[in-house]
Amino acid sequence: MDANVETTGTEGNERERQERHAGTADFIERVRINQQKLTAELKAHYDFIVCGSGSSGSVVARRLAENPDVSVLLLEAGGGDDVPEVMEADKWALNLGSERDWNFQAQPNPHLNGRSIPLDMGKVLGGGSSINVRAWSRGHKSDWDFFASEAGDPGWSYESVLKIYRRIEDWHGVPDPKYRGLAASAYQS
| pLDDT one-digit tens code per residue, 40-91 | 888 999 999 999 998 889 889 988 999 999 999 999 999 888 899 998 889 9
pLDDT tens digits for range 33-48: 877 887 788 899 999 9
Neighbours of 160 (CB within 10 A): 14
Question: pTM above 0.75?
Answer: no
Q: Which of 135, 10, 126, 3 is nearest to 62 (CA)?
A: 126
Burial 109-127 (b: 16+ CB within 10 A, else e): eeeeeeeeeeebbbbbbbb
Residue 139 contacts residue 161 (beta carbons within 8 Å): yes
Q: Are strands 104-105 and 72-75 parallel, antiparallel or unpaired?
A: unpaired
The DSSP bridge partners found for residue 105 are: 118
